[in-house]
């Protein structure tokens, strides 16, 4: 099992290169499949998940356009799926434990996409706390809590992990932009209304716990 420790899924997993056991490239991690109780079950790739992530008004439009290019294909909006037990290691690339021949099959397990969770507005105690900008994962695959703030998914760029990460100028700007960014533990999440928002039981955000 390649997914270990605690990490931020948007920063460490999303958009990484997938490489097979022969060092040949397979695809990008275009999205991550989550089970209904928010556990990582695999990687998703292909236009069906990449295009919606373009975001704004562009995303849905190009996805719609892409599906209409071949309306006879029933599985066109289904991405390709790589199960989590195919992952050997996650570093600067996601390494698989098998070869790429006939690897990708169109399939999407029941549950949710990480990309759909990112960007959702978060409300707590009757006021807006920001948006989900990353998802903290613990023990390799269990969603432990949400990183909430202003800005796009992954916009912390990893500058929350250590104070001395340079260059000073970029670090200072990113930390200033994210001065209101904080953390909501899984236990404090009341409900997730997919496509609309997240309701939490706390009125303020906690500090980001360190990753390992």
Partner 1 sequence: MGNRADMRTTAPRVLLALVLLVGPPLLAGCAPGTPDAGAWRADASRATGDVRSEVATVGLALRRHDDLFDSYLQTMVVDAEEAAGAAAEKLSAVQPPTAELERHEEVTSTLDDAASLLSEVRIAVVRHEPLTPYVGRLTATADELDGLEQRLRRPAG
Partner 2 sequence: MKKLLGIALGVLTAIGGFVDIGDLVTNAQVGARFGLSLAWVVMLGVLGICVFAEMSGRVAAVSGRATFDLVRERLGPRMGLLNLVGSMGVTLLTFVAEIGGVALALQLVTSVNHVLLVPAVALLVWLILWRGRFSVMEDVLGLLGLALVVFAVALVHLGPDWSALAHEWLTVDKPGEESWSTWAFYAVALFGAAMTPYEVFFFSSGGVEEKWTAKDIGLMRANVLIGFPLGGLLSLAIAGSASVVLGPEGITVDTLGQVGMPVAEAFGKIGLAVAILGFVAATFGAACETGLSVGYSVAQYFGWQWGKYVRPDVAARFHLLLGGVTLLAVAVLVTSVDPIMVTEMSVVFSAVALPLTYFPILVVANDHDYMGEHVNGRLANGLGSFYLVVVGVAAALAIPLMIWTRMGA
The residues binding partner 2 (CB under 8 A) are: 12, 14-18, 24-28, 30, 45, 50, 53-56, 58-59, 91-93, 152-154, 157-158, 161-162, 165-170
95 binds partner 1 per the rule CB under 8 A: no
Q: Which stretch binds partner 1 (CB under 8 A): 80-88, 96-104, 147-155, 158-166?
A: 147-155
The interface mask with partner 1, positions 56-85, x = CB under 8 A, is xx----------------------------
150 binds partner 1 per the rule CB under 8 A: yes
Residues 97-126, interacting with partner 1 (CB under 8 A): 119
Q: Can you spell out the DSSP letters for the chain?
A: ----S-EEHHHHTTTPEEE-TTS-EEEE--EEEE-TTSBEEEEEESHHHHGGGG-TTHHHHHHHHHHHTSTT-TTTT--EEEEGGGEEEESSSEEESS-STT--EE---SSEEHHHHTT-EEEETTEEEEEEEEEEEETTTEEEEEEEESSSTTTTTTTTS-TT-S-HHHHHHHHHHTTT-EEEEGGGEEEEETTTEEEES-SSPBPPPPP-
Alpha-carbon distance 26 to 33, whole Å? 17
How many residues bind to partner 1 according to rule CB under 8 A? Answer: 9
* Nearest distance from C-beta of residue 180 to partner 1, angstroms: 13
Rank residues 106 and 150 by Cβ distance to partner 1 and give the closer one: 150
Q: Binding partner of residue 168 among partner 1, partner 2, none, CB under 5 to 8 Å per kind?
A: partner 2
| Residue from 1, 24, 54, 55 binding partner 1 (CB under 8 A) | 55
* Nearest distance from C-beta of residue 12 to partner 2, angstroms: 8
User: Is the omega angle on the peptide bond into residue 167 within 30 degrees of 0, that is, cis?
Assistant: yes
162 binds partner 1 per the rule CB under 8 A: no
Residues that bind partner 1 (CB under 8 A): 55-57, 119, 131, 150-152, 155
């Amino acid at each position: 099992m390649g997914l270990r420790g605690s990490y931020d899924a948007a920063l460490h997993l999303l958009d990484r290169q997938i490489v097979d056991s022969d060092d040949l490239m397979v695809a990008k991690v275009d999205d991550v499949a989550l089970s209904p109780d928010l556990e990582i079950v695999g990687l998703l790739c292909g236009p069906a998940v990449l295009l919606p992530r373009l975001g704004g008004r562009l995303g849905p439009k190009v996805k719609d356009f892409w599906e209409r290019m071949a309306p006879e294909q029933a599985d066109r909006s289904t991405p390709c799926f790589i199960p989590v037990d195919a992952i050997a290691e996650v570093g600067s690339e996601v390494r698989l434990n098998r070869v790429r021949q006939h690897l990708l099959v169109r399939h999407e397990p029941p549950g949710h996409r990480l990309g759909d969770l990112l960007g959702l507005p978060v409300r707590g105690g009757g006021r807006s706390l920001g948006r989900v900008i990353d998802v903290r994962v613990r023990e390799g695959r269990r969603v432990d809590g949400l990183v909430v703030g202003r800005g796009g998914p992954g916009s912390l760029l990893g500058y929350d992990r250590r104070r001395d990460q340079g260059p000073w100028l970029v670090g200072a700007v990113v930390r200033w932009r994210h001065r209101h960014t904080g953390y909501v533990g899984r236990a404090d999440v009341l409900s997730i209304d997919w496509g609309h928002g997240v309701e939490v039981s706390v009125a303020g955000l906690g500090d980001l716990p360190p990753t390992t």
